[in-house]
Amino acid sequence: MLEPSQDLFRVTLLGTGAPPPVLDRFGPSTLVEVGAEKFIFDAGRGALQRLHQLQIPFSNITGVFLTHHHSDHVVGFTDLWLTGWIGRPWGKREVPLKVWGPEGTKQMMEHLPKAFFVDIRVRSKSYPSNGVKLEAEEIKEGLVYDKDGVKVSTFEVDHGGEELPAFGYRVDYRGRSAVLSGDTTFNENLIRHAKETDLLVHEVTAAAGNAAENAAQLKRIASNHTTPEQAGDVFVRVAPRLAVYNHLLLFGGARAEDLLPATRKNYSGPLLVGEDLMSIEIGETVQAHHFGK
Ligand SMILES: [Zn+2]
Q: What separation in Å is there between the alpha carbon of 160 and the centre of ligand 1?
A: 9
Radius of gyration of the chain (CA): 19
pLDDT given at position 3? 56
Strands (E), 37-166: 37-41, 63-65, 97-101, 134-138, 142-147, 150-156
Residue 220 Cα to ligand 1 midpoint, Å, equals 12
Q: How far is the CA of 226 from the centre of ligand 1 (A)?
A: 11
> What is the rounded CA–CA span in Å between residue 256 and residue 239?
22
- Name the pTM for this structure: 0.96
Cα of 94 from ligand 1 centre, angstroms: 31
46 CA → ligand 1 middle, Å: 17
Identify the pLDDT of residue 293.
76
Ligand 1 geometric centre to CA of 225 (Å)? 8
- Nearest CA to 20 out of 73, 69, 72 is that of 72
The residues, ordered by sequence, that sit 6+ positions from 4 with a Cβ below 8 Å of its Cβ are: none
Q: What is the pLDDT of residue 6?
A: 76
Give the Å distance between the CA of 68 and the centre of ligand 1: 7
Ligand 1 centroid – CA 3 distance (Å):
38
Question: Cα of 122 to ligand 1 centre, how many Å?
Answer: 35
Distance 184 CA to ligand 1 centre (A): 8
Would you state the pLDDT for residue 210?
67
> What is the distance between the alpha carbons of residues 73 and 191, in angstroms, rounded to a whole number?
22
In whole angstroms, what is the distance from residue 238 CA to residue 193 CA?
9
Distance of CA 114 to the CA centre of its chain: 26
| Cβ neighbours of residue 249 closer than 8 Å, sequence gap 6 or more | 18, 203, 204, 205, 206, 221, 225
Q: Give 70 Cα–ligand 1 centroid separation in angstroms.
A: 5
| C-alpha 92 – ligand 1 centre gap (Å) | 31
Q: Cα of 207 to ligand 1 centre, how many Å? A: 16
Q: Element (H or E) spanning 187, and its range?
A: none
- C-alpha of 91 from chain center: 20
* DSSP designation for 198: S
What is the 20 CA–ligand 1 centroid distance (Å)? Answer: 13
CA 159 to ligand 1 center in whole angstroms: 7
* Positions in the chain whose pLDDT score sits under 70: 1-5, 210-213
pLDDT tens digits, 175-214 = 999 999 999 999 999 999 999 999 999 999 998 876 666 7
Ligand 1 center to 293 CA (angstroms) = 31
Q: Tally the residues of the chain.
A: 293
Ordered DSSP codes for 243-283: EEEEEEEEEET--GGGHHHHHHTT--SSEEE--TT-EEEES
∠ CA(196), CA(288), CA(192), 5° rounding?
20
Q: How far is CA 143 from the centre of its chain?
A: 17
Nearest to 239 by CA among 164, 177, 160, 166: 177
Query: What pLDDT, on a 0 to 100 scale, did the predictor assign at position 1?
Result: 45
| Distance (Å) from CA 177 to ligand 1 centroid | 24
- The predicted-structure confidence for 129-159, as pLDDT tens digits, reads as follows 999 999 999 999 999 999 999 999 999 999 9
Q: Exposure of 126 by Cβ count < 10 A (0-12 exposed, 13-18 middle, 19+ buried)?
A: exposed
Beta-carbon contacts of 233 under 8 Å, excluding residues fewer than 6 positions away, are: 186, 266, 267
